[in-house]
Amino acid sequence: MDKTFEKLNSNNQRILSNEEFKTEIESSIKSGFADKTLVIFSAFIKSNAIKWLAGLVPSSCDVTIIGRWQPNDLLTKSSDLEVYKLCKEKEWKFGILRNLHSKIFLFGSDKVLIGSANLTVSGLSLAGTGNLEMGTQITPSELDIQRIEEIVSKVTWINDGIFNLLSSELELASENKVAADSIQWSKELKELLEPAVDKLWVDDLFYTTPTEFINPDNSDLEEVKHDLALLGLEHIEESDKALGLYQSKFYKWFKKKLITSPEEEFTSFGWLTAQLHNSLLDEPPPNRGGIKFFVGNFHSWVEVFAKEILIETHNHTSSYSLAVAGYTNYERKEPKGIKWEEESDSWRSSRDGDEVVKIIDFSCFKENSTGVPHRICHFFGVKPKEEVELNLSLENKNQTFSAKIFTVKTGQMKLKWNYELTTLLREKLPEWEDIKPKQKPNLENGYIHFKKTSLKNRYIIDITPSSVLIFTGEPPL
């Protein structure tokens, strides 16, 4: 312990409390460290803290603020939406990194304050009291500055368009009383917030193969815990491993490399090894054997879960390419036995009574619900004025949604589902914003297909765009 403090003191470093951290920020700005640039990373950012900062920073300073802005951060008010507008008024850059947890204040290139305090009133004790936080001051090396610049290059910069989308989705979630721990951005917004992936750290790579990962005996291994975090999962039993793979930085980097590689390039295992070696930020990078180990692990994940990647086996290697839908036989999917022409409302029923289809309309997105004609209530086993809880399971996926059928004051029956299903509808139907109120039922909008199961009040659903093409034949020879 004594040696640690001696080392800190020898480098003019010391541990700072909240109040001292705040005082150091103020003195650094006043003494000219931030005359040119100030870059702040903070997972949580509150508007009052931005106003405090605005009273300190000279107008000549180029200020960059980077937060996290996960949807639950904003819904629970851990961070404020108003921060963007305040930064815009001051002509400061504001951006987000969705996995940000660091708290860093970089003054020019000469001084860094780093610690646990967020840019909030409680984090910096701006009101005189606050959280118990600690931090320290360092003089950054050239490598430190390069690392910070590399992180800044991955930031998604917020503009009015993105801000308006964020605001509307949060408003909708609030109106529908969505739980903070279950809210997610829509697919469209996720894509807008996704930074380009050009470089990787070893921490972005898979430490296990799928076989090692799913082995219950390995669940306590640090390597498995690391890969759980990469996949965005909490338990190895969770089913969304393919989705987790697609959303991982390594996979996005890999896919971009495939797409941008010249047509004549042989995108083999060796090619992937060389590409990874040239893209790693770690100094020093792993040796050749280490990189081949990580590529081997990744190959196993792609082989098992990435259905959009074709892997061809050659004499001494494998090669990768993106699957192209055009080489197979496809045909338009329409649920067998559905009567499309006999009703004027937005529901259709099968001749055997085991299936119904709801044509997507405006209410599905605005109200997370739809009216149910009495003839369709029989399918769900519901009588007028009854209220029944339903369990909806997505076909071929281990994903379920809660719903209920009930009677409103007008006597009409309604089917209402949770917000997660509406989010999925938006992802499956990218043209959903073109659907207008009071439009006549239109199959071009897409539909939800309900099928009965052997269990009471449990139904299988499938969300289908009208133009979807479903594989039905074998690839031609």
Q: What digits encode the pLDDT tens for the residues 87-102?
A: 999 999 999 998 889 8
* pLDDT single digits (tens) 195-208: 667 789 999 999 99
301 and 392 within one domain = no
Q: With bands split at pLDDT 50, 70 and 90, how would you rate the model's confidence at 415?
A: very high
Question: In terms of pLDDT, which residue wins out, 194 or 475?
Answer: 194
Residue 322 sits at the vertex; the CA angle it makes with 320 and 326, to the nearest 5 degrees, is 135
460 and 381 within one domain = yes
CATH number at residue 411: 2.40.330.10
Q: Is 226 helix (H, G, I), strand (E, B) or coil?
A: helix
Phi, psi torsion values for 63, nearest 5 degrees: -105, 135
Q: How far apart are alpha carbons 402 and 421 in whole angstroms?
A: 9
pLDDT surpasses 90 at 124: yes
Whole-number mean pLDDT of the chain? 82
pLDDT surpasses 90 at 375: no
Percent of the chain with pLDDT over 70: 86
* pLDDT single digits (tens) 16-46: 888 889 999 998 888 876 568 999 999 999 9
Per mean pLDDT, which of 328-337, 346-355, 451-460, 462-471 is the most reliable? 451-460
302 and 338 within one domain = no
The answer to whether residue 263 sits within a structural domain is yes
Of 284, 307, 323, the one marking the end of a domain is 323
User: What global pTM score does this model have?
Assistant: 0.46
- For 216, the domain range is 199-323
Q: How far apart are alpha carbons 188 and 190 in whole angstroms?
A: 6
222 and 166 within one domain = no
The answer to whether residue 111 sits within a structural domain is yes
SS3 content of the chain, % helix, strand, coil (to 5): 35, 20, 45
The answer to whether residue 443 sits within a structural domain is yes
137 and 71 within one domain = yes
- Structural domains counted in the chain: 3
Eight-state DSSP code of residue 344: S
CATH number at residue 43: 3.30.870.10
Residue 353 is predicted with a pLDDT of 67
Q: Are 337 and 355 in contact (CB under 8 A)?
A: yes
The answer to whether residue 337 sits within a structural domain is yes
Q: Are 372 and 415 in contact (CB under 8 A)?
A: yes
Q: Are 23 and 17 in contact (CB under 8 A)?
A: no
Per mean pLDDT, which of 27-36, 178-187, 329-338, 356-365 is the most reliable? 356-365
* pLDDT single digits (tens) 255-272: 878 877 776 788 999 999
pLDDT surpasses 90 at 74: yes
